[in-house]
Structure 1
Amino acid sequence: MTPRRRFTVMDLFCGTGGFSKGFENSGPFDVIYGIDLLQSSIDTFALNHPDALVVAGDIRAVPRPEVAQRLAVDRGGVDVIIGGPPCQGFSSIRPNRSTTYDDPRNTLFEEFAAYVGYWRPQVFVFENVVGLATHNRGADLDAVLLAFSALGYRTDWRILNSGHFGVPQKRERLIVIGTRSEEPVVWPTPTHRGIFRTIGIQDKARMLRPGASDSGDLPPAWTVMDAIGDLPKIASGEFAVEYDALPHNAYQAARRGDAAELTLHNSTRHTARMLEIISYSGPNRSSIPTHLISTGFSSSYSRLAADEPAPTITVNFVHPASNKCIHPYLDRALTPREGARLQSYDDSFRFAGSNRTTIAKQIGNAVPPLLGRAIGSAVLEMLTRST
């Protein structure tokens, strides 16, 4: 029997590697390269991708020929490039310039395009914020698509909500998939149903949602307590290192996997004043008596709904003053482990560092691995069709 071919993946602006870990979990993908500016994120990426070449630094300062030499992978030897460059500078994209030339003036998106132009992967996946679709009246997204077209790629884009793909969170991302093949772009099929709002996008066909005919056959999106309800009930300032209950559902069992110990389940030690504020917390900031707080977003100091998917997890989910992150029943913010569960990280995924805030930032910035796995499965179908 002929061994199944494996495909190589580069992860640019990789963060912790949640996106590429999802690809690895979806099929025969080998992540060979990751680069990111933040050392803490790169340390985590390296822990979970031990066979990859890992670079911490500004992508504009790392010449592509040097990367090729270190990888011992020639141009044309990379199958998939994925990543989400920060959204600053899209309006200054120069789509017709040579993207094989190392230029320190490049925008970060142009560096992503330069990698695509240099290695000529069969498929690339570009992910970004939903606002890119409407920013500058759509001109920025048009510039992105034109840049890829100039490189010879056919592209398509959609808005994906993580809740439709098994993530207990209403996190949306704009996904552009490009291919050198004449075969059409393949999109993942939603596995869960849920009604999630998208603001500002007029073209509903760009939203990848369950079809009306099959949505009734899909299970509902996982909720907050579906994700974290098996974790030990700890108070502010407490921690736990062992599970004290069996998984209650398939999501919890899958995230536990073969993890031998519970990690990162340590709560912020809130001040007496913050605990008083939390004791009043409800669905939004208006639940808090006005004499206790004077500033903050409408979602600050608010409690997560137990029976709904979480809103988008931010980088400050261990600090109630910043966002909606208070446990549905307990008077404290989420622990890093709970945040990781809501982002669909397996409990065995390792995070570098001992600082709670730093780890929370890594978790909040990530593409949920289960969303990555869904996209990886679609990309695998594209690759196997064209080979």
Structure 2
Amino acid sequence: MKVFDLFCGTGGFSKGFEDIKEANFEVVFGIDMLSTSVETFKLNHKNAVGLSKDIRTVRRNEVEAMTGIKRGELDVLVGGPPCQGFSSLRPFRSTNDDDPRNTLFEEYASFVNYFRPKVFILENVVGLATHKKGQTLEIMQECFHSLGYETEWKLLNAAHFGVPQKRERFVMIGVEKGGEIKFPRPSHTYNGSTIGFKDKTKLLEPDENDINLAPAISTMDAIGDLPPILSGESAIKYLKSPLNQYQKERRKDHNDLSLHVATKHSEKMLEIIRHSGKNINCIPKHLITSGFSSCYSRLDANEPSVTITVNFVHPASNRCIHPVLNRALTPREGARIQSFDDDFKFFGSRTQITKQIGNAVPPLLGKAIANAISTIL
């Protein structure tokens, strides 16, 4: 089953599709503005065309020629149009032109209209649900309905799907009129605070009566087998066997450890880190001048991580200090928390790779959604 990945980044979302071997998904196309991300996408999707371009400059018939996929032959279109474009969203004007003034959402919709996928998935920030008091979402759904698709959307927490992270996302699924829409069922429970949204039917949450659900994967469940290096140190070999199923699945039979390189912190930062706790209030006032409540904060060992950001190797910007060691997370630990397998290949410098990891859709969340899509198809 053929998959296109728009605004693909590293391809973490679509990697989740290919990880379901019995469903036989094949990612054949990915496009993103960032060339380093596209190189990462191509390293992990060997049979796909990876394009590093502004989507507004690429004609649909060019993509058809590159991939050999004609109208009606595409099974799944996935992607998350960057949310900056939503503020200028207006009623959908045209579905098949290559107008450079189109918003990025309109480009996504134009791909839907041109290729007519059997299913599309639009993934985004949870703020999309309330943007302009719901007007933005209304315009988007009206657009898809005018193209002949039925849509449904939910707010998901990645921790409910086996990702060791409380990452909340908006997910819309569209099918051609008359088709059935299915969302994944949560596989894990997590009792911490979650999205505050007044219409509770839009929250995809675990069934409280389901006794078969596993507890959420914690931060240390995810990274506890990795060598305990200090600030400025690195490691290229595992020192112990996996301690649980999550670690075993991420490692597979992989022997070489990559990206486990800790930021070298200054003496002042190390002193701040030694005081760190759940929020910035744990830090003595004379050591810092300002910051958000989540800055200079330590992750809980026994809970899923907070949302990983693009700066998770720098404690001054967000909550990313290791649960027990006095340093920020390494890129490998960030990748584990994002549910990337250890053999997933990243292209670029350490800084570029850290940004790619922070921006990604967790592959395990992609896999859960892909499982639901495979039953639709």
Tell me whether the two structures share a fold, i.e. TM-score over 0.5. yes
Q: 1:134·1:200 contact (CA, 8 Å) conserved in 2?
A: no
Q: Which residue identity lines up with residue 167 of structure 1 in the other structure? A: V
Which sits farther off after the overlay, 108-117 or 63-72? 63-72
What displacement does 1:233 show? 0.4
Aligned pair partner of 1:228 in 208, 223, 236:
223
Q: Supply the distance in 2 between the matched residues of 1:61 and 1:142 (Cα, whole angstroms).
A: 27
**Equivalent residue runs for 1:1-387 within 5 Å:** 7-26=1-20, 27-214=23-210, 216-353=211-348, 355-383=349-377
| Structure 1 stretches lacking a partner, 5+ long | 1-6
Residue 172 of structure 1 and its aligned partner are, at CA, apart by: 0.6
Deviation at 1:38, TM superposition (A): 0.6
Residue identity opposite 1:69 in structure 2? A
Maintained 8 Å contact 2:297/2:321: yes
Letter in 1 for 2:102: N
Deviations 1:207-243 (A, max 9, x none): 01111221x3311100000000000000000000000
Counterpart amino acid of residue 339 in structure 2: S
Counterpart Cα distance in 1 of 2:191 and 2:109: 34
CA distance in 2, matches of 1:196, 1:25: 29
C-alpha distance in structure 1 between counterparts of 2:341 and 2:77, whole Å:
23
What's the CA shift string for 1:22-43, capped at 9, x where partnerless? 0111221000000000111111
Q: What is the alpha-carbon distance in structure 1 between the residues aligned to residue 170 and residue 344 of structure 2?
A: 25
Letter in 1 for 2:315: P
**Distance in 1 between the 2:151 and 2:49 partners?**
28
- One-letter code aligned to 1:17: G
Residue deviations 1:359-380 (CA, integer Å, cap 9, x gap): 1110000000000000001001
Look up the match of 1:3: none
What is the distance in 1 between the residues matched to 2:194 and 2:159?
Answer: 13
Q: AA paired with 2:79?
A: G
Deviations 1:228-283 (A, max 9, x none): 00000000000000000010000000000121210000000011111111011010
Equivalent residue letter for 1:322: S
User: CA distance change for structure 1 residues 40 and 108 in 2, over 3 Å: closer, same or farther?
Assistant: same
The 2-side partners of 1:71 and 1:217 are apart by 42
Distance 1:296 1:10 in 2: 40
Helix, strand or coil at the partner of 1:325: strand
Change (3 A) 1:196 1:11: farther
Q: Would you say the 8 A contact 1:59–1:111 is kept in 2?
A: yes
Structure 1 residues 293 and 96 mapped into 2: Cα distance closer, same or farther (>3 Å)?
closer
Alpha-carbon contact 2:238-2:255 (below 8 Å) kept? no
Q: Which amino acid aligns with 2:318?
A: N
The separation in 2 between residues aligned to 1:28 and 1:217, in whole angstroms, is 27
SS at match of 1:131: helix
SS in 2 for 1:367: coil
SS at match of 1:89: helix
Distance (Å, rounded) in 1 between the aligned partners of 2:202 and 2:49: 35
Query: Conserved in 1, the CA contact under 8 Å of 2:234 and 2:261?
Result: yes
Distance (whole Å) between structure 2 residues aligned to residue 119 and residue 104 of structure 1 = 19
Asked if structure 2 preserves the Cα contact closer than 8 Å seen for 1:91 and 1:143, the reply is no
CA deviations 1:30-86 (Å, max 9, x no partner) are 000000001111110010011101100100011111111111221222111000000
Q: Which amino acid aligns with 1:68?
A: E
Let me know the Cα RMSD of the aligned residues: 1.0
Give the AA of the match of 1:295.
S
Letter in 2 for 1:380: S
- Tell me, which stretches of 5 or more residues in structure 2 are unaligned? none
Structure 2 contact 148–177 (Cα < 8 Å) conserved: no
Alpha-carbon distance, 1:200 to partner? 4.2
Amino acid at match of 1:9: V
Contact 2:29 2:50 (8 Å CA) reproduced: yes
Checking the alignment, whether the CA contact within 8 Å between 2:92 and 2:139 is kept in structure 1 is: no
CA shift in 2, pair 1:96/1:39, >3 Å: closer
- In 2, distance between residues paired with 1:43 and 1:182? 38
Partners of 2:31 and 2:309 lie apart in 1 by 22
Residues in 1 aligned to 2:269 and 2:376: alpha-carbon distance in whole angstroms: 51
CA distance, structure 1, for counterparts of residue 90 and residue 317 of structure 2: 37
